[in-house]
């Protein structure tokens, strides 16, 4: 069960030990960047908790009756919930509360709540009662890449298990071995994905590749960015991707300007352009900072149109000023 999880040895070892020693708490919060194995690990942990023999190795045995039920996704004591639409609502939590208040089929209920941070406050409050007085040996596993969005009262009742970013080489290897991505593309996607397999897979789509081309064209000449270009404002997800691509591009330019080293460059297919770019370090630093500001604004729910208009105007002025000075 834990066999498919890569690069999260600390978290996995800790969960196995807890299970083996029978020192399992009522609630866990799995945190870390998106796409690094939190959900997969939560499922493996759930399997180990349900397994009748899990106390021996800390993992699921894979052969007992409980494991077979779990593997066929039919274990009556396992509840998995996640967003329906944009959020996890009060009705879902009420159904969950009702389910775990019944006597378990075997010895405990296990609940996995994916993207727990999108629980409405109302839903979190409804869940809190169950968390305060967990029925029997029930275990709740909350998974979140934005734990700051959870109510402090919920946070304080969970043991946090941290998941880390994966190394670029490991992400690339996963893409090649498990997702049939060609090696060269896998390397670029992995480098751009900042240690997340999920993100790397998103970046590998033709749509993402097309978006990157547009971003690099705007980066090359922000003054010409058409602020009414629909792709700038198609949605928050696109805007986020825009800013990620842009941030990596300016970082590459800055790194090369400062170190002359190409080993750290992410946009490896654009080496020539990066080497020939004539920007100053100060311009590039300002550009990196401007993009970071844009990313912060987007996270703070500022409308993507405002963010992108502000950013392209700022970049145009950053690169304009110095070129007139030169
Ligand atoms: Zn088993």
Residue 63 alpha carbon to ligand 1 centre in Å: 5
306: Cβ–Cβ under 8 A, 6 or more apart, which residues? 297
164 vs 10: CA distance, rounded Å: 9
316 vs 201: CA distance, rounded Å: 32
Residue 131 alpha carbon to ligand 1 centre in Å: 26
pLDDT in tens, the chain (326 residues): 788 888 899 999 999 999 999 999 999 999 998 889 999 999 999 999 999 987 788 999 999 999 999 999 999 999 999 999 889 999 999 999 999 999 999 999 999 999 999 999 999 999 998 999 998 899 999 999 999 999 999 999 999 999 998 888 889 898 888 888 887 778 778 877 877 888 888 888 888 888 888 888 888 777 766 555 665 666 888 888 888 889 889 989 998 999 888 877 878 788 899 999 989 999 999 999 999 999 999 988 898 888 988 898 899 899 875 444 44
Residue 61 alpha carbon to ligand 1 centre in Å: 4
Q: Please tell us whether the domain made up of 2-162 is placed in CATH 3.40.50.300.
A: yes
> Whose CA is closest to 243, among 197, 195, 286, 211?
211
Pairing of strands 78-81, 159-162: unpaired
Residue 143 alpha carbon to ligand 1 centre in Å: 23
Residue 139 alpha carbon to ligand 1 centre in Å: 17
Residue 46 alpha carbon to ligand 1 centre in Å: 11
Residue 32 alpha carbon to ligand 1 centre in Å: 28
Provide the whole-model pTM: 0.72
């Amino acid at each position: 069960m834990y066999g498919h999880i890569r690069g999260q040895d600390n978290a996995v070892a800790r969960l196995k030990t807890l299970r083996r020693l029978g020192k399992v708490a009522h609630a866990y919060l799995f945190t870390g960047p998106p796409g690094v194995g939190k959900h997969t690990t939560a499922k493996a942990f759930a399997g180990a908790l349900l397994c009748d023999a899990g106390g021996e190795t800390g993992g699921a045995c894979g052969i007992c009756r409980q494991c077979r039920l779990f593997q066929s996704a039919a274990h009556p004591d396992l509840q998995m919930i996640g967003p329906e639409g944009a959020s996890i609502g009060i009705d879902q939590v009420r159904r969950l509360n009702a389910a775990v208040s019944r006597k378990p089929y075997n010895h405990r209920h296990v609940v996995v709540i994916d993207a727990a941070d999108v629980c409405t406050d109302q839903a979190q409050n409804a869940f809190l009662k169950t968390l305060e007085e967990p029925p029997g040996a029930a275990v709740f596993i909350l998974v979140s890449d934005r734990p700051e969005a959870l109510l402090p009262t919920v946070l304080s009742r969970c043991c946090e298990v941290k998941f880390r970013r994966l190394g670029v080489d490991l992400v690339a290897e996963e893409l090649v071995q498990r997702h049939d991505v060609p090696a060269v593309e896998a390397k670029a996607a992995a480098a751009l994905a900042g240690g997340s397999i999920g993100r790397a897979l998103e970046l590998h789509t033709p749509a993402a590749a097309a978006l990157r081309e547009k971003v690099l064209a705007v980066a090359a000449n922000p003054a010409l960015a058409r602020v009414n270009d629909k792709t700038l404002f198609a949605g928050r997800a696109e805007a986020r991707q825009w800013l990620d691509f842009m941030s990596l591009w300016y970082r590459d330019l800055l790194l090369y300007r400062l170190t002359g080293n190409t080993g750290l460059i992410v946009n490896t297919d654009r080496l020539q352009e990066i080497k020939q770019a004539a920007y100053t370090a100060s311009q590039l630093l300002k550009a990196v900072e401007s993009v970071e500001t844009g990313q912060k604004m987007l996270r703070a729910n500022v409308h993507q149109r405002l963010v992108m208009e502000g950013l392209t105007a700022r970049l145009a002025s950053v690169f304009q000023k110095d070129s007139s000075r030169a």
